[in-house]
Chain A
Amino acid sequence: MVITLIPKRVFKFPIEGKNISPDVFAKKSAKKIAALEMWEGNRKLSIGDLFDIKVDSSSSEELTIKIEGNVGKVRNIGFRMSMGQVIVDGDAGMHLGEGMSGGSIVVAGNAGSWAGSQMKEGTIEIKGNAGDYIGAAYRGSTKGMKGGKVIIHGNAGHEVGCYMNGGLIKILGDVGIFAGIHMVNGTIFVQGTSQGRAGAQMTNGKIILAGHSEDVMPSFTIEDIKAKVKVDGEKIEGPFYRFTGDLADKGKGKLYVSKTKNPYLKSYEKYL
């Protein structure tokens, strides 16, 4: 079953989109879906007020929600979803797939901050750029992303994977500062450049910086040089300097930094 949502107009105000989720749409008629509550700014509306809805129940594939258009103002799409698929043709707003425990989300454009925050299972694929706090914990909480995968083809912002406790975040573009801050477990892979301070206060887990990194925190100590690293079953060719930290927090996290892209780290080799 494929349910298509087409925005009726360009959205100017933030929209609370918690109800756009396969779990909520499941076994509901088009009429019932249209009546689901949705807040735009301080106005209580329904999905039918904001979107044209088409239901195609002929195809036998799993429940898919297709959003044709830009919904960069719509937050919380796929909130706590456990199955099915959400496909966004344009941009998606903040908190995409927050707390999801299954299924998949594909965004053709950019996604806002907090995508995949507190997610437990499932995959999020963002073809464009993503904001800050990808796969992070809620403000003040220490429980970040626990499992699943977030793949970002573009760049990501700051504090990616804050308090991450499992799963994988793969960034094919660049990343901001403090990637993997407070990380407890899981893996972060960055193909492009990192603005530095990666792994601050991490206690465990793995961060791989395959591109240039502005710095390596002084609270990390060098272990050895590895020829390659395994990420999600795939071998990434190095060589990589392998650091352990964050020692300020008695951490045992592993930080891999590309040797060829970071010649300034050569001074560490004398400690090997």
Chain B
Amino acid sequence: MTELIVKNGFVYDPLNRIDGEKMDICIRDKKIVKSVKDKAKVVDASGMVVMPGGVDIHSHIAGGEVDTGRLLRPEDHVKDVEVKTAVTRSGVGFSIPSTFTTGYRYSKMGYTTVMNPSTPPLQARHTHEELADTPMIDKGTYPLLGDWWISLEHIRDGLLEENAAHIAWMLKAARGYAIKIVNPGGLEAWGFGRNVHSLDDVVPNFGITPREIVRGLCKVNTMLNLPHTIHVHTNNLGQPGNYVTALETMKCVEDLAREDRPVLHITHIQFCAFKGEDWARLKSGAEDIANYVNNHNHVTLDVGQVVFADTTTMTADGPFQFGLYHLTGNKWVNHDVETETSGGIVPFTYKRSSSVHATQWSIALEIMLLIKDPWKVLMTTDHPNAGPFFYYPKIMAWYISKRARENVLKKINKRARKKSLLPSIDRELSLYELAIVTRAGQAKALGLKDKGHLGVGADADIAIYNINPERVDPSKKFVSARKAFDRAAYTIKDGEIVVKDGEIVKQVFGKTYWVDVECARNHCRKTRARANDNIKKKFKDYWTVEYENYPIREGFLHSSAPVAVKAEI
């Protein structure tokens, strides 16, 4: 039994409404407890900020796409080499770090839970193999289910319960955590060289629309009682004028909301908040999006903040990536995953001098600052699409300090600066709000009950930063705040000190979350059995893989952490 006490820190724990109170946090084994014995090891956090360990809802850290991205970009790695130490392994960065480096860098910033947001179910085995090799953090992955033939067939035929049973099977087979939908219908159309451009375009061969797919899967999500909502990457991503599509997508599930609980998460909203007819007239749609979200409670967002850096874009949105290749002329990868999804990779550099890139940077900040309720909008960079995750401290500085934003604003493209709404926004996030958008809100949106807070019974994942809010105003001393967020004074993972003064002192391996759906009623079990038979049959027709080889055994995961949910059907 190991005991630890974090003493005298300024605690920011928004889920328990603790705002900078000076208090002690007691830890026994892997959990936070009420009290510990006197001989417990003391971590002196006096004059420091204590927050729950960071949670990232959307960061591409593992899987087929990420790995292909690594192979595609040797020049990305050569500039950022990590040498092995007595504790850590060697590795490389930059925009697509190797698995071990990914884990270390997250941990150094005080992050303890990271969700990998997309994996084609067919490649889930690869994803889990990489996640098993990603140390320091708890993780999970969302299978791409928005263009899966079997699901599309059920939506076409109006078989909701059957669809739910099939999705439940797939979540278990791929050991996934949530339903990910990317460009619904568009990826299926992409298999035939086409795309869909609005929620009401017809998906070839199925005769259904993206609207039906989003609504159908949203209903399934509620029926299965999954901890997270559906995780949606909208149609028309990265096209001027697409803020309309984003708003339509939010509107289309308005009536499915229950008791003010979110039913939809729109990811990297910055990429679908473009106003204007073409690239030359690109404007920010942040105000419209923020207005809508301020007036509705059924949706959560993450921003996908652009940082000015050389990065690698990778999404399952094949048609979008193909467009990006034509835009940049860079090397590219594009592929189709049988019956399930597609994918693409293009290296990309965001430049301050580009009017479009600078506007994108501004849009993401505007959305974050114009949405009044921080529980609705979360910080991400959609790593590595809008920037590598280790730029988070820089982004946090932009959130807490207007001056930090102005420093960048001075240097960006003139046209973009003129159009930006940022000079008119005075809001600076408090440390309490920052804790929401970087951990508490993320854990809440994910439905991870033991994460993102420091109440009794929570996982002992804690980040301690060397900022003294009594002495300094982080909005003025944003550089030192940024440095503090960059190198956590301590990171505690499962009750063990793993980072001290920004250096890894112990290597640990986190758990992998997946949802284990249990059906409540007999009737559902029958549906499930039928679904199983149906899938067995379909494997012969659709896949090149045998049914027996497809599901991933639980023992295959490094450290399995099933989240048991009872379906409502």
Binding site for B on A (CB under 8 A): 137-141
8 Å CB interface, B62-80 against A: 72-76, 78
Interfacial chain A residues near B73, Cβ < 8 Å: 140
User: What's the least CB distance linking B72 to chain A, in Å?
Assistant: 7
Interfacial chain A residues near B75, Cβ < 8 Å: 137-141
Interfacial chain A residues near B76, Cβ < 8 Å: 140
In whole angstroms, what is the CA distance A138 to B331 when docked? 15
Interfacial chain B residues near A137, Cβ < 8 Å: 75
In whole angstroms, what is the CA distance A140 to B92 when docked? 15
In whole angstroms, what is the CA distance A141 to B75 when docked? 5
Contact with A along B68-105 (1 / 0, CB 8 A): 00001111101000000000000000000000000000
Closest to B329 in A: A249
User: What's the least CB distance linking A247 to chain B, in Å?
Assistant: 15
Q: Could you jot down 14 A-B contacts, CB within 8 Å? A: A137-B75, A138-B74, A138-B75, A138-B78, A139-B74, A139-B75, A140-B72, A140-B73, A140-B74, A140-B75, A140-B76, A140-B331, A141-B74, A141-B75
User: What's the least CB distance linking B346 to chain A, in Å?
Assistant: 13
Give the 4 A-B residue pairs with the shortest CB-CB distance, closest first: A141-B75, A140-B74, A140-B75, A139-B74
Give the residue among B73, B75, B78, B331 with the most A Cβ atoms within 10 A: B75
Closest to A250 in B: B329
Interface residues on B, range: under 10
User: What's the least CB distance linking A37 to chain B, in Å?
Assistant: 12
User: What's the least CB distance linking B45 to chain A, in Å?
Assistant: 39
Closest to B78 in A: A138
| A contact face: mostly helix, strand, loop, or mixed | loop
In whole angstroms, what is the CA distance A230 to B76 when docked? 37
User: What's the least CB distance linking B310 to chain A, in Å?
Assistant: 10
Contact with A along B322-359 (1 / 0, CB 8 A): 00000000010000000000000000000000000000
Closest to A138 in B: B75
Interfacial chain A residues near B74, Cβ < 8 Å: 138-141
Interfacial chain B residues near A138, Cβ < 8 Å: 74-75, 78
In whole angstroms, what is the CA distance A137 to B331 when docked? 15
In whole angstroms, what is the CA distance A137 to B74 when docked? 11
In whole angstroms, what is the CA distance A139 to B78 when docked? 9
Give the residue among A137, A140, A141 with the most B Cβ atoms within 10 A: A140
In whole angstroms, what is the CA distance A139 to B72 when docked? 10
Contact with A along B46-74 (1 / 0, CB 8 A): 00000000000000000000000000111
Contacts beyond the supplied A138-B74, A140-B76: 12 A-B pairs with Cβ under 8 Å: A137-B75, A138-B75, A138-B78, A139-B74, A139-B75, A140-B72, A140-B73, A140-B74, A140-B75, A140-B331, A141-B74, A141-B75
User: What's the least CB distance linking A249 to chain B, in Å?
Assistant: 9
User: What's the least CB distance linking A94 to chain B, in Å?
Assistant: 15
In whole angstroms, what is the CA distance A83 to B331 when docked? 35
Interfacial chain A residues near B78, Cβ < 8 Å: 138
Closest to B75 in A: A141
Closest to A249 in B: B329
In whole angstroms, what is the CA distance A140 to B331 when docked? 9
Closest to B331 in A: A140
8 Å CB interface, B375-431 against A: none
User: What's the least CB distance linking B308 to chain A, in Å?
Assistant: 18
In whole angstroms, what is the CA distance A138 to B73 when docked? 10
User: What's the least CB distance linking A145 to chain B, in Å?
Assistant: 15
In whole angstroms, what is the CA distance A139 to B76 when docked? 10
User: What's the least CB distance linking A173 to chain B, in Å?
Assistant: 30
User: What's the least CB distance linking A208 to chain B, in Å?
Assistant: 27
Interfacial chain B residues near A141, Cβ < 8 Å: 74-75
User: What's the least CB distance linking A252 to chain B, in Å?
Assistant: 15
User: What's the least CB distance linking A41 to chain B, in Å?
Assistant: 17
In whole angstroms, what is the CA distance A230 to B315 when docked? 48
In whole angstroms, what is the CA distance A137 to B79 when docked? 13
User: What's the least CB distance linking A43 to chain B, in Å?
Assistant: 16
In whole angstroms, what is the CA distance A139 to B77 when docked? 10
User: What's the least CB distance linking B1 to chain A, in Å?
Assistant: 42
Closest to A137 in B: B75
8 Å CB interface, B176-193 against A: none
User: What's the least CB distance linking B345 to chain A, in Å?
Assistant: 13
Interfacial chain B residues near A140, Cβ < 8 Å: 72-76, 331
Closest to A141 in B: B75
User: What's the least CB distance linking B553 to chain A, in Å?
Assistant: 36
In whole angstroms, what is the CA distance A141 to B72 when docked? 10
User: What's the least CB distance linking B511 to chain A, in Å?
Assistant: 35
Interfacial chain B residues near A139, Cβ < 8 Å: 74-75
Closest to B77 in A: A140
In whole angstroms, what is the CA distance A138 to B77 when docked? 11
Interfacial chain A residues near B331, Cβ < 8 Å: 140
Closest to A203 in B: B329
In whole angstroms, what is the CA distance A141 to B73 when docked? 8
In whole angstroms, what is the CA distance A140 to B78 when docked? 10
In whole angstroms, what is the CA distance A102 to B136 when docked? 44
8 Å CB interface, B511-538 against A: none
In whole angstroms, what is the CA distance A62 to B78 when docked? 32
In whole angstroms, what is the CA distance A141 to B349 when docked? 13
In whole angstroms, what is the CA distance A138 to B72 when docked? 13
In whole angstroms, what is the CA distance A183 to B73 when docked? 19
In whole angstroms, what is the CA distance A271 to B73 when docked? 42
In whole angstroms, what is the CA distance A82 to B78 when docked? 21
User: What's the least CB distance linking A76 to chain B, in Å?
Assistant: 13
In whole angstroms, what is the CA distance A137 to B73 when docked? 13
User: What's the least CB distance linking A2 to chain B, in Å?
Assistant: 33
In whole angstroms, what is the CA distance A90 to B125 when docked? 53
In whole angstroms, what is the CA distance A138 to B76 when docked? 10
Closest to B330 in A: A142
